[in-house]
Amino acid sequence: MDRDHSFLPINEKEMRERGWSQADFVYISGDAYVDHPSFGMAIITRLLEDHGYKVAVISQPDWKDDASIRVCGEPRLAFIVSAGNMDSMVNHYTSSKKRRHQDAYSPGGGFSGRPDRAAIVYSNLIRRTYKQTPILLGGIEVSLRRLAHYDYWSGKVKRSILLDSGADLLMYGMGEHSVLEIAEALSSGIPVKEITYVRGTVYRCRDLAAVGEDYLLLPSWDQISSSKKAYARSYYLQYINTDSITGATLVEPYKEKEYIVQNPPSLPLTTEEMDHVYGLPYTRRWHPGYDSLGGVPALKEVKFSLVSNRGCFGGCSFCALTFHQGRRIQVRSHESILEEARGFLKDPDFKGYIHDVGGPTADFRHPSCGKQLDRGVCADRQCLFPTPCPNLKADHTDYLLLLKKLRALPGVKKVFIRSGIRFDYVLEDRGSDFLDELCRYHVSGQLKVAPEHVSDPVLALMGKPSRSVYDRFRKAYQKTNEKLGMKQYLVPYLMSSHPGSDLKEAVKLAEYVRDLGYMPEQVQDFYPTPGTISTCMFYTGLDPRTLKPVYVPSSTKEKQMQRALIQYRNPDNYELVKKALLLAGREDLIGFGDRCLIPPRKRKDQGKNRKEAALSSGGRKDSGTRKKRSPIRNIHKGKGESRRSRK
C-alpha cells in the first residue's frame, strides 16, 4: 500500500479534505511543525498514524486566545501536549536568566512562539474549553518534571507538573511504547483515570491500595519542600530507579490521600522497533506555511544528520539523559541508517556531507556490558566513572563498519561526527583503530570533546574522568594526526561554576587555558535544569550520592568571575579577572611574566594625576618656560615624525 507522504492536517478544513469528521488525537506542540525524525512531535504523530489513528497537529497555539486550541476541534480520544524538543524555560533563558532573542524551533528563528512553562499553559488552555477530554503530557519538559523538582528560574521546589497542568496522564522518556498502549486502551473504551498500569507513565492516585504492595515510598512533598536533605534523598531514589529492569514503582505523597505514582520506565526499543520508527513516512521538511518566514532553523542543523543510537551510560552529573532516555543503549541497524542516508542523495540541498552519525554519545553502539540485557544497569556504580568498570566492553568495531559503509555511498563526500565522543571510552578500546579512522575520515579540522574541567575534585562531582585521562587522549590525538600528516585541532568544551568549583578551582582552569595558548570563544556556565545530579547539588549543597556537603557558586558575581577567568584574554573581563585572582589569593598571576594571566593596570585617573602634578611643578603652558623639543629626537624617529604623530 502506498503511504501518504503529506503533512498531517493542521485545521478542520484539512481534516475534511481527508474525509475526517473528527481526529482521534490532536497533538499540541511548542515547536513549529517539522516532520522530521529529529523532532519528537513527528515521531509520535507518525507512529500513531501508522497504527491507524487519525492525528491532527496544532503547533505553537496562541496561548492568549482560547480559539487557537479549537482549530482542529475536539479529538475523539485525547489531546497530547508537549512543550517541544527543548524545555521551554531553557529555550527562553540563558543560565544567567537573561531572555534569549532567538528560538531555533520557531519560524524564522526569532522570538519564541511558545510561552514559559509551555506544557502547563497549553494544558490549562485546553481544559478551559474542553472540560472532560483526556490530556496526555509528553516530551522533555514534562519528563524531567514528573515528580517534585527544583525550579531554577523561580528558585523554588515545585510539585509534579501533572498537578499544576491539570492533565490526566504523563508519559516520561521517549514515549513510543507508552503512547501506543494508552491509545489502545482509550480506543477500547477504558477511561483515562483507569489507565494506571502503563510503563513509562505517571498518574494521580487517592488510594494506595490500588497501587499494590510493591512500590517505593519517597519522602513527602511537605518533607522535600522544607528539607534540602530530604530533597536530596528523594532525588537519588528516583535517579537509581531509571532502568526498565531494576526500576521500582515510585510513590510521592502530597496531602492526605493524594499521591503521584510513577510506574517503572518503558522497555527500551529493540533494533527492529527503532528501525520501524525511523522508517516512517516523514516528509523531512518544515511545514510549507513557514517558507515565507525562512523556515525553521533547527531543521537545518539536523536535516542531513543520522540518529544511530539512544541512551547513554556516560553518567555525566549535569546531563538529564539518564533521567529521560536511561543508560541502556538502543541502536538502529546498519541497513536502516544506510537507507535514510540514501534518501539524502535525492534531496537537491544535499551537497555530499553527512553532518553527524550518532546520538547522545556518538560512539556508543552496544550496551556497556552483557549483563545489562537481562539484569539491567547497576544502581550502585557507573560504567566509566570514577574508573572504567572491569566488565566494560569498549569496542568500536560495529560503529567503524557503519561509518565505512556510509563513506562508500555514491555521492557522499564526507561523514562527520559531531554529537560527541567519550574520550575515556576511546582510550579503553584497544582492539580497533578507531582514533586513526576518526582523524583520517571524520574530523572537519577540529574535534570537539568535553573534558569540562581540569580540577580532579570538580571532575569527580561532574562524573567525568580525571584530568590525566584527558591529557592521555590529547597526546594520543596529536600523535595520530602527526602520523597521518594532518593538522587537526582538539577543542575542549569547558564549564564554569559547576558545584564544587570555587575560585581557586576556577583559577586552575584559567591556567590550563593559558597553557593551551588560546581563549575559548564559548564557555558554558553550569545551568541547573531539572533531573540532574548537579542541579540537586546546586539546590541542596549536598551530593545526593553521599549526602556530603558540596561548595556551590551561586552568586551572580562569582559566576561572572568564574566565566571571566576562562576568557581572561578578553579586555572586557579584566576587572572581573583581577578581582577573582585577588579573592583567590593568586596575585602571582597579575604581572608581566609568562605565567601571568593579566598585567597590572594603572587606574584610569592615574595618568591624569601625573599630568596635573607635572604642570603644578613648572610645566604650565602659560608659564613661558616649556622647553622646545630637540630636532634630533624627531630624526631618530624617522622621516621627521615625532613619537606622538606615529601613534
Q: What mean pLDDT is predicted for residues 239-247?
A: 94
- Which one of 442, 459, 480 terminates a domain? 442
Same domain, 464 and 355: no
The CATH number assigned to the domain holding 402 equals 3.30.750.210
Give this prediction's pTM: 0.90
pLDDT tens digits for range 172-201: 999 999 999 999 999 999 999 999 999 999
Q: Residue 604: which pLDDT band, with cuts at 50, 70 and 90? A: low
Q: Residue 460: which pLDDT band, with cuts at 50, 70 and 90? A: very high
Task: Give 113 or 353, the one with higher predicted confidence.
Answer: 353
Max CA separation in the chain (angstroms): 105
Q: What mean pLDDT is predicted for residues 501-522?
A: 90
- Which one of 392, 415, 442 terminates a domain? 442
Q: Please determine, for residue 494, whether its predicted confidence score (pLDDT) is greater than 90.
A: yes
Collapse the DSSP code of 268 into the 3-class scheme (helix H, G, I; strand E, B; otherwise coil) and give the result: coil
Q: Please determine, for residue 2, whether its predicted confidence score (pLDDT) is greater than 70.
A: no
Cβ–Cβ under 8 Å, residues 123 and 81 = yes
Same domain, 464 and 593: yes
Residue with grid cell 483526556, as numbered in its chain: 134
Q: Does residue 640 sit within a domain? A: no
Same domain, 603 and 457: yes
Residue 457's alpha-carbon distances to 388, 502, 542, 610, in angstroms, are 18, 11, 14, 48
Burial class (CB in 10 A: 0-12, 13-18, 19+), 363: buried
User: What is the spatial distance between Cα 434 and Cα 4, in angstroms, rounded to a whole number?
Assistant: 41
Q: Residue 639: which pLDDT band, with cuts at 50, 70 and 90? A: very low
Q: Does residue 267 sit within a domain? A: no
In the chain, what percentage of residues exceed pLDDT 70?
Answer: 92
Residue 186: φ, ψ to 5°: -65, -40
Q: What confidence score (pLDDT) does residue 517 get?
A: 84
User: What is the spatial distance between Cα 145 and Cα 162, in angstroms, rounded to a whole number?
Assistant: 8
Residue 316, number of CB atoms within 10 A of its CB: 23
> What range defines the domain where residue 23 resides?
12-204
Q: Does residue 340 sit within a domain? A: yes
Same domain, 437 and 453: no
User: What is the spatial distance between Cα 484 and Cα 482, in angstroms, rounded to a whole number?
Assistant: 5
Same domain, 490 and 433: no
Q: Residue 487: which pLDDT band, with cuts at 50, 70 and 90? A: very high
Q: Does residue 639 sit within a domain? A: no
As for how many domains the chain has, the answer is 3
Same domain, 27 and 163: yes
Q: What mean pLDDT is predicted for residues 309-323?
A: 93
Q: What confidence score (pLDDT) does residue 635 get?
A: 29
User: What is the spatial distance between Cα 182 and Cα 196, in angstroms, rounded to a whole number?
Assistant: 10
Q: What mean pLDDT is predicted for residues 130-136?
A: 97
Q: Does residue 428 sit within a domain? A: yes
Question: Which is nearest to 58 in space by CA: 30, 21, 16, 24?
Answer: 30
Same domain, 316 and 408: yes
Same domain, 438 and 521: no
Same domain, 18 and 65: yes
Same domain, 506 and 556: yes
pLDDT tens digits for range 568-602: 999 999 999 999 999 999 999 999 999 999 999 86
Q: Does residue 266 sit within a domain? A: no
The CATH number assigned to the domain holding 184 equals 3.40.50
Task: Give 265 or 519, the one with higher predicted confidence.
Answer: 265
Q: What confidence score (pLDDT) does residue 623 get?
A: 39
Q: Does residue 568 sit within a domain? A: yes
Q: Please determine, for residue 248, whether its predicted confidence score (pLDDT) is greater than 90.
A: yes
Q: For residue 504, give the H/E element and its range.
A: helix 503-516
Same domain, 462 and 313: no
Q: Residue 8: which pLDDT band, with cuts at 50, 70 and 90? A: very high
Same domain, 538 and 431: no
Angle at 63 between CA 61 and CA 67, to 5 degrees: 70
User: What is the spatial distance between Cα 226 and Cα 157, in angstroms, rounded to a whole number?
Assistant: 9
Q: Please determine, for residue 524, whether its predicted confidence score (pLDDT) is greater than 60.
A: yes
